[in-house]
């Protein structure tokens, strides 16, 4: 008689780049926070390959496991990395467990070359309906939207003077990581909108450009550096910041701007809304999960062909070209109309703190796991 398969305790093994200071690492840490808020038993399994210039976030080290403990795995590892990850961990990790891939993808068509990854999971979770729509068109397994739970810790010691920023100006913030695709994140558009919105060197306003991993593709940053040098109200921050410093930078600026061409979720937008900041963002892709015309400044766009291959984003795909004039009009209105600005910001803060809190998201996770019989009712 064959031995019966092992029975594992009910809970989640959250598998991913647990210490990586980049989006995919943050995704796993946010899942830990949501599971914790909802009382789901969990531990974290670190996939220890160097995917970022900084692998120093140890905020969940007390929950890291040496080996998988629970009956369900959630892989915060994108489809293209699933096979090498499972090779690293060995066959005992997926065996006799329910395996969920928490996958990110930013464009309408999920690539056929990732199709083999579906064989490695029983289910896919995504951070937005936009990503779910893309993946579910190709997926033979269920695709469920479980967004990121958003909460932001800040420190008052990291104020404007800490970052070399002036007081008394209305500051717009744009953040961009060189390890992301410049074509997708479209940092240039925020600069163009700002230049359209205000006279050169207008002393009432400023644009803060936070560049991460600027040494990664220095040629991409040359035009932006040149621009900052030519304007007294465009400020460049290109040194590495801790998570607490980044959060505090969001807090000490007045508005966050993301004129992306495509976004899986748009964490910077959501985090700024959590902090009560009015945000300006392209009204297309994952950020429409939480942005609307009453709680933020959604920017008009045209859908266009990507037109050339940019890494995984192939030329045949479509994405959004944001209307820079519309974004500029929002910038002027935010700077000039404090009452309207405060109302938009308050609505945004309410949306994120209520519908996208770690507890609200953790309860969605829990409900799905209960439905699957993986957690007790």
pLDDT over 70 (residue 1)? no
pLDDT over 80 (residue 4)? no
Residue 268, helix vs strand vs coil:
helix
Give the per-residue pLDDT at 23. 86
Output the furthest CA–CA distance in the chain (Å, rounded).
81
Give the per-residue pLDDT at 341. 99
- pLDDT tens digit sequence for 319-355: 999 999 999 999 999 999 999 999 999 999 999 999 9
Look up residue 229 and give its two tokens.
Answer: 């040098």
Give the per-residue pLDDT at 145. 99
What is the pLDDT of the chain when averaged over all its residues?
A: 95
Give the per-residue pLDDT at 52. 64
Total-model pTM: 0.95
What are the angstrom distances between the C-alpha of 160 and each of 46, 89, 227, 245, 308? 35, 44, 21, 11, 40
Measured between alpha carbons, how far is 245 from 159 in angstroms, rounded to an integer?
A: 9
DSSP state of 109: S
pLDDT category at 273 given cuts 50, 70, 90 is very high
If you average pLDDT over residues 80-103, what whole number do you get?
97
**Residue 359, CA atoms < 13 Å, CB-side half-sphere:** 2
Residue 129, helix vs strand vs coil:
helix
Give the per-residue pLDDT at 21. 83
- Asked whether the beta carbons of 250 and 273 are under 8 A apart, the reply is no
Measured between alpha carbons, how far is 300 from 189 in angstroms, rounded to an integer?
A: 13
Give the per-residue pLDDT at 56. 82
Instruction: Provide the residue count of the chain.
Output: 377
DSSP code per residue over 132-144: HHHHHTT-SS-EE
Measured between alpha carbons, how far is 304 from 325 in angstroms, rounded to an integer?
A: 17
Which range (50-59, 159-168, 188-197, 203-212) has the least confidence? 50-59
Q: What angle do CA 112, 114, 118 make, to 5 degrees?
A: 110
Give the per-residue pLDDT at 2. 65
């Amino acid at each position: 008689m064959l031995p019966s398969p092992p029975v594992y305790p009910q809970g989640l093994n959250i598998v991913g780049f647990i210490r990586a200071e980049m989006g995919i690492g943050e995704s796993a840490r946010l899942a830990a926070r949501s599971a914790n808020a909802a009382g789901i038993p969990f531990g974290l399994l670190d996939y220890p390959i160097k995917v970022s210039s900084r692998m120093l976030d140890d905020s969940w080290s007390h929950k890291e496991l040496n080996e998988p403990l629970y009956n369900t795995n959630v892989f915060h590892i994108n489809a293209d990395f699933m096979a090498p990850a499972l090779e690293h961990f060995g066959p005992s990790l997926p065996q006799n467990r329910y395996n969920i891939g928490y996958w990110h993808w930013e464009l309408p068509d999920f690539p056929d070359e990732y199709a083999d990854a579906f064989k490695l999971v029983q289910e896919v979770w995504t951070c937005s309906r936009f990503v779910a729509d893309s993946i579910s068109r190709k997926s033979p397994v269920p695709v469920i939207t479980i967004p990121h739970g958003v909460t932001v810790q800040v420190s008052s010691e990291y104020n404007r003077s800490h970052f070399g920023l002036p007081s008394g100006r209305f500051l717009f913030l744009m953040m961009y990581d060189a390890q992301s695709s410049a074509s997708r994140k479209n940092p240039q558009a925020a600069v163009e909108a700002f230049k359209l919105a205000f006279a050169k060197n207008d002393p009432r306003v400023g644009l803060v450009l936070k560049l991460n991993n600027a040494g990664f593709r220095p040629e991409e940053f040359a035009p932006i550096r040149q621009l900052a040098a030519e304007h007294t109200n465009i400020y460049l921050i290109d040194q590495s910041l801790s998570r607490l410093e980044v959060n505090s930078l969001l807090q000490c600026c007045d508005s966050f701007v993301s004129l992306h061409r495509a976004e899986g979720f748009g964490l910077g937008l959501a985090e700024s809304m959590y902090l009560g900041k009015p945000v300006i963002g392209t009204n297309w892709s994952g950020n429409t999960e939480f942005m609307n015309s009453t709680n933020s400044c959604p920017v008009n766009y045209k859908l266009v062909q990507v037109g050339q291959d940019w890494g995984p984003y192939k030329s045949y795909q479509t994405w959004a070209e944001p209307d820079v004039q519309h974004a500029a009009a929002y910038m002027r209105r935010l700077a000039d109309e404090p009452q309207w600005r405060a109302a938009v910001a308050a609505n945004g803060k309410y949306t994120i703190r209520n519908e996208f809190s770690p507890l609200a998201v953790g309860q969605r996770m829990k409900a799905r796991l209960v439905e699957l019989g993986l957690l007790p009712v």
